[in-house]
Amino acid sequence: MLIAGNWKMFKGPAEAREFCVALREADLPDDVDVVVCPPYVSLGVAVQVLAGTEIGVFAQNCHWADEGAFTGEVSAPMLRELGVYGTLVGHSERRQLFGETDERVAQRTRAALAAGLQVIACVGETESEREAGETASVLRRQISVLEADDNLVIAYEPVWAIGTGKTATPEIAREAHETIKELLDLPVLYGGSVKPENAAELLAHAAVDGALVGGASLELDPFAAICRASRS
């Protein structure tokens, strides 16, 4: 079971340090893999504070080139040099707000994996696509550009449930996860308004291998509670 906390554009270095110090001492289950995904400016301090623990530090994105004229981007070798273990790729906000295409997601994924990073690649449908009955076809399209790899994990995050307070029912999550697993035999996380109150139910099915947690990962108590719920 893997629980990853995506901090999005929250927690600069000072706040990240304070959080990671507390996370080191938190009551986290030994049999659950825990990852935090700080913004770029806070990766270094997170790596330093969490060194010597089993808690991984992932970036939120990664460019497909090792270096070059790509202002504002960060490459996989740079992340490796910093001590980062992995990266998110293709988060719904990257797709929706920044025009990230399936092919760009595939390029970023391949580059990160080639550099030795672990990758959580995100897929999921919008509300209009779900209402049109296109969930399965959207997932097939997004998954089709990815290839199985021991260091690749898929995160199913229905776009309509990201930051909206809406949450997929366990049945919706199960169906989507099973569809993804038919296409790629890899672990699949659920992401979309995961909270301590719904974590155990969402994570109970065998097809759900963990969670990509957004807002609830910004405070220690709810994030730790989700980690403990995943064990049960």
Catalytic sites, residue numbers: 91, 157
Residues 170, 176: Cα–Cα separation, whole Å: 10
CA distances from 192 to 23, 53, 199 (A): 22, 27, 11
**Tokens describing residue 91:** 């988060």
Alpha carbon distance 37, 85 (integer Å): 10
Measured CA distances, 90 to 18, 157, 224 (Å): 28, 11, 25
Q: Which of 191, 198, 139 is nearest to 8 (CA)?
A: 191
Per the CB < 8 A criterion, the answer to whether 29 and 59 are in contact is no
Could you give the count of Cα atoms lying within 13 Å of 2 in the half-sphere of its Cβ? 24
> Residue 51 CB: number of other CB atoms within 10 A?
11
Cβ atoms of 62 and 43 closer than 8 Å? no
- Scan for tokens 């959580």, then name that residue: 120
